[in-house]
A = this chain, B = another copy of it.
Amino acid sequence: MAAQPIKFGIVGCADIARKVSRAITLSPNSTLYAVASRTHEKAAKFAKENGFPDSAKIYGSYEALLDDPEVDAVYLPLPTSLHIKWAVLAAQKKKHLLLEKPVALNVGEFDVILEACESSGVQIMDATMWMHHPRTAKMKEFLLDSSRFGDLKTVHTCFTFAADKNFLETDIRVKPDLDALGALGDVGWYCTRSILWAADFELPKSVVALHGTVYNTSGVILACSASLQWGDGKTATFHCSFLSNLTMDMAVVGTNGTLRFHDFVIPFEENKASFGTAVKSGFTELVTGWEPKPSEHIVTTELPQEALMVSEFSRLVGCVKFEGAKPEKKWPMYSRKTQLVLDAVKVSIEKGYQSVEIVE
């Protein structure tokens, strides 16, 4: 790197910030520069345990970190209800923004964040790591190949994990004042994003949540499902839950081909990941077997997907900072569309599983 690495400030010491701190360390164009927590002590402990250099700045308040003119970019893993306040303030302080998902409680809030980023000219990207794995690009090649895959017809995704008693009682993701979207905003975010990714971010025309939503006693969603419909006949379904064994399935079916994999958010292994494809699948004579059979493809990666995410974010920040480029609009567009679909699913649930039109 000819240019200086991008200096990151971590705003909030959530568990996930540990993984992202390591990713920043691994990313060659990025450096851990500062960390803020609500107390100096917590921030210092986090810095010590997560590979921050001795020179790192330790802040006992988020404001103090945002006031540090040396901070180029912030990673913001705060509870969703706090995003609007701190993401807007970060943008106003000219900090580029790597924002945890769900990006906001609803698209109205996210639009306020986007306006702040736009008027400050800062890059914003959500922290959906799997988008940056080289496997994702390889799979996209397959989906865009009209001969091997053809036209997209249907997608199904499922992301569940079996939360333990402690999670179900204390995690921010089950608290109505912190992460009111619950499982829909957490695991459902990935389901929705992956469906939109498969559909080249063409928004569905309408969304219907499926009967069977499970809530906790505070009314936060612990499990739900939805179906999505496009004007051209494409359909998708997803299921997300905190109440079932960890499962991450994605299947994309086209007129000619099928793509599937079972670790779409976090690959089974850090440095290699696989996906299965089937092309013009058929049966043997007398329908006693398949010909051709599906095949598996392995994609290796030197850096884990979260480090590639940080690298891509920092590359874009560098373009703005060192070359005067405009922020890349594709990433906030992805975030906004994902949030729009989540919002529609929530409305559909609230309206007794009615169909909800998606209005961009």
A interface residues, Cβ below 8 angstroms from B: 16, 18-19, 22, 150, 153-154, 156, 158, 160-162, 206, 208, 210-212, 214, 223, 225, 227, 229, 233-235, 237, 239, 241, 243-247, 249, 251, 253-258, 260, 262-263, 266-270, 276, 278-283, 286-290, 293-294, 304, 306, 353, 355
Output the least CB separation between A21 and chain B (Å).
10
User: From A355, which residue of chain B is reached at the shortest CB distance?
Assistant: B211
Which residues of B have CB within 8 Å of A225?
154, 227, 235, 237
Q: 5 extra interchain contacts, Cβ-Cβ under 8 A, other than A156-B237, A247-B251?
A: A162-B255, A210-B237, A223-B233, A235-B239, A247-B281
Q: Are B154 and A239 closer than 8 Å at their CB atoms?
A: yes
Taking a contact as CB atoms under 8 Å apart, the answer to whether A22 and B229 are in contact is no
Residue numbers in B under 8 Å from A212 (CB-CB): 227, 229, 233-235
Instruction: Name A251's contact: one of B158, B255, B276, B281 (CB within 8 Å).
Output: B158
Give A112 Cβ to nearest chain B Cβ, in Å: 30
Partner of A249, one of B243, B251, B280: B251
- Residues A286 and B210 in contact in the complex (CB < 8 Å), given A237-B225, A294-B262: no
Known: A153-B241, A211-B227, A211-B229. A246 touches B282 (CB 8 A): yes
| Copies per assembly | 2
Q: Are A253 and B158 in contact (CB under 8 A)?
A: yes
**Closest chain B CB from A209 CB (angstroms):** 10
B280 near A245 with CB under 8 A, answer yes
CB distance from A62 to the nearest CB of B (A): 24
- Docked complex Cα distance between A304 and B284 (Å): 14
Q: Smallest CB-CB separation from A352: which chain B residue?
A: B355
Bound together, the chains give a CA A283 to CA B229 distance in angstroms of 33
In the complex, which residues of chain B have a beta carbon less than 8 angstroms from the beta carbon of A16? Answer: 287
- Inter-chain contact A235/B210, CB cutoff 8 Å: yes
Taken together as a complex, chains A and B put the C-alpha atoms of A81 and B294 apart, in Å, by 35
| A154, A254, A269: residue with the most chain B Cβ atoms closer than 10 Å | A154
User: Is the Cβ of A288 less than 8 Å from the Cβ of B268?
Assistant: no
Is the Cβ of A245 less than 8 Å from the Cβ of B288? Answer: no
